[in-house]
Amino acid sequence: MWMPRPRDGVSMTKETWIGDVRAGKYDGTEVELKGWVHRSRGSNKIRFVVLRDSTGTVQCVVKRDIVGDETFETVKDALIESSLILHGTAEPTDREHGHEIQVTNVEIVGPVNPDTPFPITESAMEQADGGETEFLLDNRHLYLRTSRMTTMLKMRSTVFGAIHSYFRDREFTEYQAPNFVAGAVEGGSTLFEVPYFGRKAYLTQSWQLYAEAAMPALERLYTIAPSFRAEKSRTRRHLTEFWHAEMEIAWGSNDDVMVHGEGVVRNIASTLLDQHSDDLESMGRDLELVARYADNPYPRMRYDEAVETLQGMGVDIEWGQDLDYSKEKVLTEDFEIPHFLTHYPRVAKPFYHRPDPEDPKYVLCHDLLAPEGYGEVIGGGERTWSEPEILDRIDEEGNDREAYEFYIDIRRYGGVPHGGFGLGVDRVCAWLTGADHIREVIPFPRDSRRVTP
Ligand code: 4AD
Ligand code: MG
């Protein structure tokens, strides 16, 4: 791995990575490793220190007769998560990791005080059993260093990369909207109000309305940004701050937008398979399922059909209700691949959705529902794009026209058919990696009870 170095002055640049040692790249040569103590055991003569860095772990063998008494004692006393620099020879071995280091010298960089040992012990992890206890959430800042979380964060990074590539490869412009806003996008009940110099402002629920403003300028745009929702209920798929990948296209119908929703999700699934098959398997994920989501087109189903199906299954649902998680869970339990649900009732969706000209009881919208009981990962559709229609829709919802003046202007000056969607990045990460809970895929999850650490 190439790393830039300063032209002059002191460099602490690391050049050797444990992942490369494990790949056998350094067998028979002298290396310098920088990292943290993952585990340590042994006797008064020999210590086996498992060293961790961002690329993995490797066993390092420290012998008293080679490193000398003083160094040996420091190593012996080095507690879990002490940081150190060591020198030694990499060599192949029959033991656990296939390669190990015969250590010649060790320097402790950041020691750990024995009065305050690293709190995340193996027994705490066993208790949590892959899930997350309050204890692990309280110590989230330290939990990030565990292999499970490190692997998850790397897959998350890959998901972000796959979204960026999808849109950039298709000449979309990345575009940013404000996070302080004056009005709701997705209904008032989940708005976070913030005091704003004697006025009220809100944290944005979606980039969409401001993206529509730039639609006549850029025509194809996208973002990945945080969105905020005051979700009171704590569920396995809701955060109060989540990462939202959104896109908007001019000259786009509901069908045109769905093409991109399917495209980006399939691109995420195939990129994860390409780059993280081993990681997915280590998390217990069935790779065949992920391959199925990457390889197949996603079928479409109208809302009415979904409601009939659910009613046929004995689920208590009335026409006109939006599908909440409990309903989506039942509906998607038997899905083999994601499905688009289209044509929701106008009464179930926010004002910006365009009524279907063929039957204005419905709107031209879609939700993408992930299988395995996971439910909604995308919401999108065609926008109400003429001035009279948008005024009607704003009034119908009892919204204040003034807060949406700029939004109405977009229709006053050369409105065109357009549309877009929002994809919950954390939800897609949780679904594709097989995480039980959305909290597992984001470094510092926020819900109604937690803003710390
Ligand atoms: O369906 P939603 O509310 O749609 C919008 O916000 C549109 N304005 C997007 C657009 O057309 N540009 O949210 C979109 C997606 C959902 O499908 C879900 O995946 C995710 O955002 N999402 C959440 N993810 C985690 N926690 C929450 N509280 C979420 N709320 C929505
Ligand atoms: Mg939705």
Helix/strand/coil (H, E, C) string of the chain? CCCCCCCCCCCCCCCCCHHHHHCCCCCCCEEEEEEEEEEEEECCCEEEEEEEECCEEEEEEEEHHHHCHHHHHHHHHCCCCCEEEEEEEEEECCCCCCEEEEEEEEEEEECCCCCCCCCCCHHHHHHHCCCCCHHHHHCHHHHCCCHHHHHHHHHHHHHHHHHHHHHHHCCCEECCCCCEECCCCCCHHHCEEEEECCEEEEECCCCHHHHHHHHHHHCEEEEEEEEECCCCCCCCCCCCEEEEEEEEEECCCHHHHHHHHHHHHHHHHHHHHHHHHHHHHHCCCCHHHHHHHHHCCCCEEEHHHHHHHHHHCCCCCCCCCCCCHHHHHHHHCCCCCCEEEECCEHHHCCCCECECCCCCCEECEEEEEECCCCEEEEEEEEECCCHHHHHHHHHHCCCCHHHHHHHHHHHHCCCCCEEEEEEEHHHHHHHHHCCCCHHHHCCCCCECCECCC
The pLDDT tens digits along the chain (453 residues) read 667 778 888 888 899 999 999 999 999 999 999 999 999 999 999 999 999 999 999 999 999 999 999 999 999 999 999 999 999 999 999 877 789 999 999 999 999 999 999 999 888 888 877 677 899 999 999 999 999 999 999 999 999 999 999 999 999 999 999 999 998 888 889 999 999 999 999 999 999 999 999 999 999 999 999 999 999 988 899 999 999 999 999 999 999 999 999 999 999 999 999 999 999 999 999 999 999 999 999 999 999 999 999 999 999 999 999 999 999 999 999 899 999 999 999 999 999 999 999 999 999 999 999 999 999 999 999 999 999 999 999 998 888 898 889 999 999 999 999 999 999 999 999 999 999 999 999 999 999 999 999
Distance 380 CA to ligand 2 centre (A): 8
Alpha carbon nearest to ligand 1 atom 29, residue: 238
Cβ 231 under 6 angstroms from ligand 1: yes
User: Sign of torsion, CA 232 233 234 235?
Assistant: negative
pLDDT at 126: 80
pLDDT at 2: 67
What pLDDT is recorded for position 133? Answer: 84
pLDDT at res. 398? 87
Residue nearest to atom 9 of ligand 1 (CA): 422
Ligand nearest to the CA of 234: 1
Q: Is the CB of 271 under 6 A from ligand 1?
A: no
Q: What is the dihedral of CA 316, 322, 327, 331, to 10 degrees?
A: 110
pLDDT digits 0-9 by tens, 187-245: 889 999 999 999 999 999 999 999 999 999 999 999 999 999 999 988 899 999 999 99
Distance 185 CA to ligand 2 centre (A): 11
Rounded to whole angstroms, the Cα distance separating 26 from 119 reads: 34
User: 50-75, pLDDT tens digit by residue?
Assistant: 999 999 999 999 999 999 999 999 99
Q: Counting every residue, how long is the chain?
A: 453
Minimum-distance ligand to the CA of 383?
Answer: 1
Residues 281 and 268: their CA atoms lie apart, in Å, by: 17
Distance, in Å, from the CA atom of 247 to the CA atom of 7, rounded to the nearest integer, reads 42
Classified by CATH at the fold level, domain 18-110 comes out as: OB fold (Dihydrolipoamide Acetyltransferase, E2P) (2.40.50)
Measure 378 CA to ligand 1 centroid, in angstroms.
7
Burial 15-52 (b: 16+ CB within 10 A, else e): ebbbebbbeeebeeeebebbbbbbebebeeeebbbbbb
Among protein residues, the one with the nearest Cα to ligand 1's atom 20 is: 424
Give residue 180 CA to ligand 1 midpoint distance, Å: 17
What does the block give as tokens for 401? Answer: 């026209």
Instruction: Please state the domain extents for the chain.
Output: 18-110, 142-441
In this structure, which ligand is nearest to the CA of 375? 1
Which of 227, 268, 328, 440 for mutating ligand 1's site (highest number of atoms within 8 Å of CB)?
227
Pocket test for ligand 1, best of 243, 244, 342 (most atoms within 8 A of CB): 244
190 Cα nearest atom in ligand 1:
28
Give the distance (Å) from ligand 2 centre to CA of residue 325.
Answer: 11
Beta bridge partners of 368: 340, 378
What's the CA-to-centroid distance between 103 and ligand 2, angstroms? 56
Q: Name which residue sits closest to atom 17 of ligand 1, judged by CA.
A: 378
Atom of ligand 1 nearest to the CA of 422: 9
Which ligand 1 atom is at minimum distance from the Cα of 419? Answer: 11
The pTM of the full predicted model, rounded to 2 decimals, is 0.96
Q: Which atom of ligand 1 is nearest to the CA of 231?
A: 28
Fold classification of 142-441 is BirA Bifunctional Protein; domain 2 (3.30.930)
The per-residue pLDDT for 300 is 97
